[in-house]
Each structure stands twice: as structure tokens, then as C-alpha cells.
Amino acid sequence: MITITTTEGLADFCARAASHTYVTVDTEFLRERTYYSKLCLIQLAVPGDADEDAVLVDPLAGDMSLEPLYDLFRNKSVVKVFHAARQDLEIFYVDAGVFPEPLFDTQVAAMVAGFGEQVGYETLVRKIAKSSLDKTSRFTDWSRRPLTDAQKTYALADVTHLRTIYEFLKAKLEKSGRKEWVEEELAVLTDPATYEADPATAWKRIKTRTNSGKFLAIVRELARFRETLAQARNIPRNRVLKDDAILELASTKPKSEADLGRSRLVLREARKGEIAKGILNAVAAGVAADPASYPEVENRRDRLQVNPALADLLRVLLKAKSEEAGVAQKLIATASELDEIAGGELEGPALRGWRRKVFGEDALRLCNGEVALTAKGSRVKIIAL
């Protein structure tokens, strides 16, 4: 097993990889103690069976630069193959503002090719590569050195089997004419907006049970403070404030450190000093917010006055069309998107691109009363009216 620990070694491998049509990529990282993922290991493989065709890259070794890898990512003649790429891409985007192009995500491709929703790598290894994975190193602390041979073997398997999986799925998609479907999905993964956490909108991740404008304004300001501090200190959000603490503070509206000290859910280190000051300022800003600026919890289902019966019919139609096309239901349309269609919203993802051909056109015909659904045995059929 080859482990690259120098910039020169990485440059040599990437130069060799540039002569191939694709390279498989995976990462190992930690995020439990930081806001941003800490990159601990990179696995790379090119077609072939030789030892030098699959390598580990140790970004924690010395002062290695990853720029040779980023140059490979920018090389559009080499496809970069990942499985469930989102977190990997976030690491590279945050570090260098670069995305691997062109990109192929085997999880997305497998969903299009009929392997189910969010199919795991282990399943694809078993079904396509006809092999199995050793799970013993799954919960490794990848930041600790030295790595054992077992850990290295486990890590390399994430890119060696991926070669077989990629070649199988690529051929399957080309045969079915669905390569463009995958490319549509991957556009989201290479959009910078996917990875940019804006403190101003951080409140939307917090689940609340109230529509009170003032309450939500305080939640918004507390979430903004938490996100900003967590990013600046590179610590997890929950190390500043947990979600339930934010909801408690929005309810109790503390005005002093003494008030803050009576909170059940605020961490001890957040009851004084800089964090306490930031919390109190955020609460005060939320209380003083102009009512015109109050955030609103968007409940599209209520606003659109969804017809429940029509929504149920759309679910039946989706299941039928999903089975017919051999594509995961969730990839075609989510439950909330079906509700939007049933409520008259005609601009959603399910009505664009390849989804419109597979499902959207028939969904609109059903909503317009142009078709009906009938069951015959275990199959659902569409009948024109």
C-alpha cells in the first residue's frame, strides 16, 4: 500500500492520473469537534491492478500542498468519481474553492439506474463488484497516526471497488440514455450555494412550534450569533448553543447574565463572558426588531390549500411511474413537492427536465382531469379520459 506524504509524490500520481479517463476519489475526515470538516486522508485510484494504481494521500503529513490534486480536479478530460460526494466536495470547496469537474457520483447514478433511494456503498460493492467490505475500521479516528494496515486496507477499498461500480453504472446509463439525468442532479453538488452557510438564514434549520413573529425574530438573531461564532472559532454549533437552548432563550428573553444563569439548557461556559454577551445582545436585537422584518415559517401546504385526495393520487402515480422507469421515487419527487403540485404550484423540480418526462407531464394531466388511474393486479395504469 502506497501512502503519499509529499507534494512531489502527489504531483507524480496526479500527472499519471491525468492520462486516464477517470480517477476514483474518497476522503476520511472528522467533524465532531469542529465546524468545518478536518481532512485526514484522501484515497485515489485509477484503472488497473498494480499497487501504484491505488494510493493514500496523507494531508496531515508535513506541509504537503494539495494543489496538484486540485489541478487534476480542474482537468476536464478526467472524470472524478465519488460515492455520496456532498461532504467530500464541501471539504475541497471550503479549502480551495474548487469543484472536481467533470463529476460522477455513484450514489446518484445508482438511484437513476434502479438501485433504490440513497443506496449505500456497501450495497453497491456487494451487488456490482460481487465483493464485501471489512467493517472493523468504520469508526476509526482518522486523525491519529500511525494508521494500521487494517485501516489503510479499509480506506483503499473505498476507491478500488468504486472503479468496478463506476464502469458498470456508466455503461448502464449510456445504454439507457440516462447520462443526462445524472448530470442534472450533479449540478446541485457543484453549486457553491450548496455549501455556503449564511448566518442570516441559519434560523431556518431550527424546528419551532410557533408562528409568533417576535419569538422567531429572537430565534433568528440567536441562530445568527451562534453560526457566526461557530464559524469564527471553528467549533460545532452545539458547543455554542443547542437548538433547544435557543428556543428556551427565545421564550424567556433574558436581559442579564443573572437571568442567563437560570437557564436549564445553556451550557455553563456560555453563561458568562463573550458568549453570554453575544446571547444577550442577540435576544435584545430580536426583541427590538421591527415587526415588518419578522421572519415567517413557510407552510406551503397550508398556503396552497392542498387537495388531500389529489395529493394521495399523485403519490400512487409517482409509485407507478417510479417502478416503470426503475428510478427511486425520492429522486423524482418528494412528498412536499407532490403537495405543492396538488395545491397548484407548477414550478417545482418534479415538473422540469427529465423528471417532467418521467412523471411531471402525467402528474399535470391527472391534476387537470385528463387522465384517471386504475389498478389491475399489482399494477397501476393510466387511462386517458
pLDDT score, position 302: 54
pLDDT score, position 305: 75
Among 318, 354, 348, 352, smallest CA distance to 178 is for 354
> CA-to-CA distance for 260 and 227, rounded, in angstroms?
19
pLDDT score, position 298: 64
Strand-pairing partners, residue 23, are 80
pLDDT score, position 358: 94
Q: Regarding beta strands 79-82 and 103-105, do their DSSP bridges make them parallel or antiparallel, or are they unpaired?
A: parallel
pLDDT score, position 124: 97
Tally the domains of the chain.
3
> CA-to-CA distance for 254 and 256, rounded, in angstroms?
6
Domain boundary among 161, 179, 194: 194
**What is the residue-averaged pLDDT of the chain?**
93
pTM of the entire predicted model: 0.88
Q: Which domain holds residue 184?
A: 2-194
> Residues in the chain with pLDDT < 50?
300-301
Quote helix, strand, coil % in the chain, to nearest 5: 55, 10, 35
The answer to whether residues 50 and 185 belong to one domain is yes
The answer to whether residues 78 and 188 belong to one domain is yes
The answer to whether residues 359 and 234 belong to one domain is no
Among 143, 156, 111, smallest CA distance to 3 is for 156
Domain boundary among 194, 220, 248: 194
24: CATH:
3.30.420.10
214: CATH:
1.10.150.80
The answer to whether residues 78 and 175 belong to one domain is yes
The answer to whether residues 40 and 134 belong to one domain is yes
pLDDT score, position 313: 95
Domain boundary among 245, 268, 293: 293
The answer to whether residues 22 and 127 belong to one domain is yes
